[in-house]
Amino acid sequence: MVGRLIEMSVESVRVHMLSTQHVVILREMERDRYLPIWIGPWEASAIAMKLQDQVPERPLTHDLLSTVLDLLGATVREVIIADLADDTFHARIMLEAAGRQIEVDSRPSDALALAVRTGARIFAAEAVLDRAGVEPDKGPTGEEGGEPIDESKLSVFRDFVNSLDVEPGADERRERPPRE
């Protein structure tokens, strides 16, 4: 079991300027906390196309899977970013078919590409967010009356965000956070 789940949304898909690596950024629904996950270019494109309501000339793999599931009477209930082990994220696709609950292991990028196509809810395990989630700086003491922000955690996120480009660009290498 993955413990407490926190609902997320796909905030954006971006390209790291220096390395041209792609990242999907999930945003917590109830709080200003983000989960960046490095993904491949094809999966990034598949997610971004759907978010921008672009329709490919021919179905992409995730469109095909969504269609097959629909034809078989299966519903994608939700996807869960369930674990972070050895700097690699792990996801679960939760299906319902013929009254059965089915759990399928998945890469986060594939799970998210399927979720944006089917309208399935997206969750992250609280333990994953505690380890890899980041919050923007809200001032020297965090939220009003809150504890001071752990600058060591945020400096990595600031460097990461400052190196992003919304549009594909340069191609130098750079250190990166956990991947899928």
Rounded alpha-carbon distances, angstroms, from residue 127 to 45, 63, 96: 28, 31, 25
Report all structural domains of the chain as residue ranges with CATH numbers, in order of start.
5-165 (3.10.690.10)
pLDDT tens track of the chain, all 180 residues?
578 999 999 999 998 888 889 999 999 999 999 999 999 999 999 999 999 999 889 989 999 999 999 999 999 999 999 999 999 999 999 999 999 999 999 999 999 999 999 999 999 999 999 999 999 875 444 454 445 555 555 555 555 565 555 544 333 333 456 767
Q: Which residues are within 8 A (CB) of 118 and not within 5 positions of it... i.e. 6 or more apart? A: 66, 69, 75, 76
Q: What's the first-to-final CA gap in the chain, in angstroms?
A: 20
Among residues 65, 46, 178, the alpha carbon closest in space to that of 112 is found at 46
